[in-house]
Amino acid sequence: MPSTLPTTLAYPLRVLSWLGSQGTRGVAAVVFIAAAVPSLGALLRPYLTEAILCLLCISFMRVDLAALYSHLRRPALVATATAWTTIGVPLIVGLIAHATGLTAGAPGLSLALMLQSMASPMMASPALAALMGLDATLVLITLVTSTALVPFTASLFAGLFLGDMLSVTPLTLGLKLLGILAASLLAATAIRWIFGAEAIQRHKTPIDGLNIIILFVFAAAIMGDVVSDLVAQPLFTLGLAALSFAIYFTLLAITTLLFRRIGTGRALALGLMVSQRNLGLMLAATAGALPPTTWLYFAMTQFPIHLAPYMLMPIARRLAARKEH
């Protein structure tokens, strides 16, 4: 049996390595395949929480501890970026939603926007920044600090702005977020201890491929009803899609401008992180008990999340070329 094991694993590893080598193209393709095969949505939706936990676990498992420690020596920048993404963004979104009457007029959309703003950055943000040649270590440390705070900040803003719009209390939301993050961190720590950081780094490409497969499971689960919604209410669905792109690139642009003094490349990396919100974490914490409009908006956000890194590659390349010269 031991002699046949490498042969048995060789083909799956080759497939995973090929997927991992596709980079931002693979991430972009995921969203179109998920939308094109809606029947997979119903099949994979029961596994949404497991997919989110796996994505979190893989991200924690790949944390570069040396880079983490080095950035902790410059706490001012990390603290400012963390405050912006965990406090500044949800506070501004909440105030705008209330001032414009969106909370009363379109509660499902208001809930979606608040949950999006309250969420921590996506765990895949450092990997996407690295694929684009941006400063992944700065993104990593800010991601870690933001994720550590989000159970508390999300609970605070849920109490301030959401009232009874959520199916769970703000305290329950915070505790669930804390439990999900703690479970993922413990599993990742166990994997690092069993296999070692060197082995994880050595198998970086197939792990990237596995990440893309799990991203597909998540995208398919959340986007299962997109085609039927598009047919039933095309203008509303396209409007939510346009809104999701507008919010994504607004967050990206504002963050890049706010932090431009640290260099355009590093500011863009932070902008990418702030605009890539971990909606899966909120879905897991609320057990998916959300209004149809909230679900549909979450589905629409998958398009900018998956397409933007590919769209931004030319800008990232120009910044890298400028840095070399």
What's the token pair of residue 80? 């400012």
- Share of residues in the chain with pLDDT > 90 (%): 25
Mean pLDDT in the chain? 83
Which backbone phi and psi does 121 adopt, to 5 degrees? -60, 155
Number of neighbours of residue 143 by Cβ within 10 angstroms: 27
Question: Which amino acid is present at 56?
Answer: L
pLDDT at 289 over 90: no
Q: pLDDT tens, 144-197?
A: 888 889 999 999 999 889 887 877 787 888 888 888 888 888 998 899 888 888
Q: Quote the pTM value.
A: 0.81
Sketch out the chain's domains with CATH numbers.
23-319 (1.20.1530.20)
Calpha distance 78→80 (Å, rounded): 5
